[in-house]
Amino acid sequence: MTKKYNGEASGYPLREEGLRKRPRAGEILIQSILFFAGFFSIFTTLGIVYELGKEALLFFRTPEVKLWDFLTGTAWQPHINQFGILPLVTSTFITSAIAMTIAIPLGLAAAVYLSEYATEKVRKTLKPILEILAGIPTIVYGYFALMFVTPLLRSIFGRDVVEIYNMASGGLVMGILILPLVASMSEDALNAVPLALREAAYGLGATKLEVALKVVFPAALSGIAAAIIVGVSRAIGETMIVAVAVGAGPNFTFNPFRGAETMTGHIVRMSGGDLSYDSIDYNSIFAIGLMLFFITLTLNIISQRIVQRFREVYE
Amino acid sequence: MSASPAPLGPFQDNLPRRHRLGAVWQWIFFAATIIGIFVLSALLLDILNESFGYVALEARVDPDTLAVDGVPLEDLPKEELIRILQDSLSASAFNKLNDEKPFEERSQANVYDLVIERVVKYKVLETWSLWESLIHSDEIRAQAAEEFPQAELRFVSWLTVETIRRPQSSEAVNAGVRTAILGSLWTIAITILVAFPLGVGAAIYLEEYARDDWLNRLIRTNINNLAGVPSIIYGILGLAIFVRALERLTSGAVFGLVNPTTANGRTILSAGLTLALLILPLIIINAQEAIRAVPQSLRKASLGIGATKWQTIWAHVLPNALPGILTGTILAVSRAIGETAPLVVVGASTAISFDPNLFSRFTTLPIQIYQWTSRPQGEWRHLAAAAILILLTLLLSLNATAIVLRNRYTKRF
């Protein structure tokens, strides 16, 4: 459609060297350095997959370990060569489930409040507080779980019911940690819903609650689902809270008031001591790490896919 | 039209109920938001509660018996204090102290600390939290007098200038976080040195140079995924690569440094590099957003007057994106300062009484908190609370800096 400007045709001959694109060594060098910086993260991923895979392979090669027993065994006792990962997996899922039963309802309610109800002034005070909550190091939450929540639970349910190290206290505090994450991601999703939808609903006579729950919330569902999945992934990978407040050795139990050890907690405890290279303990933390990596990676990819696939695009 | 709401009947019948429902739910939503504030206050109050309180101390040697001619121990001249040390310690222990730093150069306060630590040797018998100390102080006195007749009951603040100044020690009353703070600072310095240039470089590449082909899409997806990998995985990676595979580099052997403390690669350098990998994706994502916010017109104007691409980026894009980049970096760094799990895996030690350097074993503030919290004796948990206060103060000031940067220097186009 548009004609390209042609110097010669318009009667001004181009000076040969002046406007021609010269190769500039400096520019190319800088671009290569920047490309390396961009590509570097690929090395990180390759490093994770290679190192975890290599050591995990060594772990499964040892005669004491059988893949089937690893996946289905209910006892993790390395000193008598029992490597069943189920006790670690169940406690990981129990603590995460407790955390999510706190974080999902509270996080979503907070998101709806901040996005649909709060005045600008209230929002500006409440949101930073949630952000502070998200910025506190997890070891501090661990301390809080052990020194405050566990005694609280023990005084409510009885000291013989609740053990000093228990999954409930770790899970509850983990829920508080994840609450701001779910709230802030969901709030972004709710905010992205165009005002026209709300106005149309009001025009039909809907109340504020009906607009929020029946119009805005469904429209933002993909973003909310993504937030929840990221929250779950965070809960599964969370380490210090469970290491401080839950961890008491692998324990195959479904009772939240008993102590147990999650995958992350086990890795921390094993590597806290002096771990000698190429021992079966050393290799086992890589096998557990690999499993953890794949679980969280799958969840993160699902979350990204949901956002991409089901996002309602307005205008 | 008199009162004949017949056609609207069902609708209006419903209306009060719908409004009531709305009010109830609004209250519920608000309560959920407020819970965050409650928990935050509970957390802070709990930590403050543990940071102060009564302590029953038993001294191996009563400081009153060390007083000379009625002058209390802390007011004694340096020479007297040195004489006490000389009398009470073995010759070799005394000489070792002298070797560390000659007594002539030590201050009176320092020698006094040594006398307290080596001769008086306070031992903690029992501790109480601030709340108990304030509410039940009479009961505590009675209990202490009954159970520990020899002990001295003292109201202490676990967080003092001394706590910050003193290195690790085997007794909670003498222990401090000096080595942990230094370890944290060293580690973070390395993390920033590595992660900042790499992260900003990657962000510039992705925003300014990268075409939308499969390789760059892969890089982008990969960075997003790395941001979601649990931090402990980075710890395992650091253990395998920096501590083990690159041991000669991270222990300093490559540079001809033979470390007397034999850290075996479990050094500050390994820790810093591990944390750098951990926060790299965060820095990239934040820097990308900051660069994206610089309007296209600026670039076009610069290119239009004949600047090269890099000149445009260096002179126009980066200066305008810098506040955003710095804010994002500070937030990522404050995440790194609080990280514990990867450093435990990389192999942080805990009993470190010397000032660390690049190739030495190390401990950091969160590691120290973790270790002290894991000990069953109450006094260490009080000390952990004091360390948490220090850590939170550090993080809060960093975050405040980030907010100020964001508010003052971010340009809106």
Is the confidence at residue B336, as pLDDT, over 60?
yes
Q: Looking at residue A21, what is its pLDDT?
A: 66
Across B170-204, b (16+ Cβ under 10 Å) vs e yields eebbbbbbbbbbbbbebbbebbbebbbebbbbbbb
Q: Looking at residue B115, what is its pLDDT?
A: 77
Q: Looking at residue A15, what is its pLDDT?
A: 52
Residues in A touching B37 (Cβ below 8 Å): 126, 129
pLDDT in tens, B225-256: 999 999 999 999 999 999 888 888 877 777 77
Q: List the structure tokens of A188.
A: 């972004």
Q: Looking at residue B89, what is its pLDDT?
A: 77
Residues in B touching A296 (Cβ below 8 Å): 228-230, 233
Q: Looking at residue B25, what is its pLDDT?
A: 93
pLDDT in tens, B11-45: 677 888 889 999 999 999 999 988 888 998 999 99
Q: Looking at residue B54, what is its pLDDT?
A: 84
Pick the more confident residue, A45 or B60.
A45
Residue A113 lies inside a defined structural domain of this protein: yes
Q: How far is A60 from chain B (nearest CA, A)?
A: 18
| A110 in contact with chain B, both atoms CB, cutoff 8 A | yes
Q: CB pairs under 8 A, 24+ apart, for A80-87?
A: A83/A284, A85/A263, A85/A288, A85/A291, A86/A252, A87/A250, A87/A251, A87/A252, A87/A253, A87/A260, A87/A261
- Interatomic CA distance for residues B93 and B335, integer angstroms: 42
The band of A6, judged by pLDDT with boundaries at 50, 70 and 90, is: very low
Specify the amino acid at residue B208.
E
Residue A13 lies inside a defined structural domain of this protein: no
Q: Looking at residue B4, what is its pLDDT?
A: 47
Is the confidence at residue A142, as pLDDT, over 90?
yes
Q: Looking at residue A1, what is its pLDDT?
A: 43
Give me the domains of chain B, ranges plus CATH numbers.
51-157 (no CATH), 178-409 (1.10.3720.10)
Q: Looking at residue B7, what is its pLDDT?
A: 54
- Interatomic CA distance for residues A270 and A263, integer angstroms: 11
Mean pLDDT confidence for B98-120: 75
Residue A49 lies inside a defined structural domain of this protein: no
Q: List the structure tokens of B36.
A: 């965050």
- Interatomic CA distance for residues B275 and B345, integer angstroms: 12
Yes or no: say if B175 and B166 are a contact pair by the CB < 8 Å rule.
yes
Is the confidence at residue B149, as pLDDT, over 90?
no
Look at chain A and report how many structural domains it folds into.
Answer: 1
CA distances, A42 to each of A48, B118, B208, B410 (Å): 10, 54, 19, 31
Residue A258: which domain range?
76-310
> What percentage of chain A exceeds 70 in pLDDT?
91
Residue A29 lies inside a defined structural domain of this protein: no
Among B20, B25, B28, B29, which would you mutate to test the A interface (most chain A Cβ atoms within 10 Å of its Cβ)?
B29
Residue A10 lies inside a defined structural domain of this protein: no
| A77 in contact with chain B, both atoms CB, cutoff 8 A | no
Tell me the residues of chain B between 203 and 242 that have a Cβ less than 8 Å away from chain A.
204-206, 209-210, 216, 218-219, 221-226, 228-233, 235-237, 239-241
Q: How big is the CA angle at B50 (ends B44 and B54), to the nearest 5 degrees?
A: 145
Mean pLDDT confidence for B43-66: 83
Is the confidence at residue A53, as pLDDT, over 90?
yes
Q: Looking at residue B393, what is its pLDDT?
A: 92
Is the confidence at residue B262, as pLDDT, over 80?
no
The band of A2, judged by pLDDT with boundaries at 50, 70 and 90, is: very low
Domain of residue A266, CATH code: 1.10.3720.10
Residue A98 lies inside a defined structural domain of this protein: yes
Mean pLDDT confidence for B82-94: 78
Q: How far is A167 from chain B (nearest CA, A)?
A: 16
Yes or no: say if B57 and B173 are a contact pair by the CB < 8 Å rule.
yes
Q: List the structure tokens of B158.
A: 């676990």
- Please indicate whether, in this complex, the C-beta atoms of A133 and B280 are within 8 angstroms of each other: no
Residue A45 lies inside a defined structural domain of this protein: no
Tell me the residues of chain B between 298 and 317 that have a Cβ less than 8 Å away from chain A.
308-310
Q: How far is A251 from chain B (nearest CA, A)?
A: 19
Residue A111 lies inside a defined structural domain of this protein: yes
Q: Looking at residue A71, what is its pLDDT?
A: 83
pLDDT in tens, B369-382: 999 998 888 888 88
- Mean pLDDT rounded to a whole number for chain B: 84
Q: Which helix (H) or strand (E) holds B157?
A: strand B152-157
Q: Looking at residue B385, what is its pLDDT?
A: 92
Q: Select the highest-mean-pLDDT range: A11-20, A71-80, A210-219, B161-170.
A: A210-219
- Interatomic CA distance for residues B175 and B156, integer angstroms: 14
| A146 in contact with chain B, both atoms CB, cutoff 8 A | yes
Q: How far is B41 from chain A (nearest CA, A)?
A: 10
Pick the more confident residue, B256 or B80.
B80
Is the confidence at residue A19, as pLDDT, over 70?
no
Tell me the residues of chain A between 79 and 108 that have a Cβ less than 8 Å away from chain B.
105-107
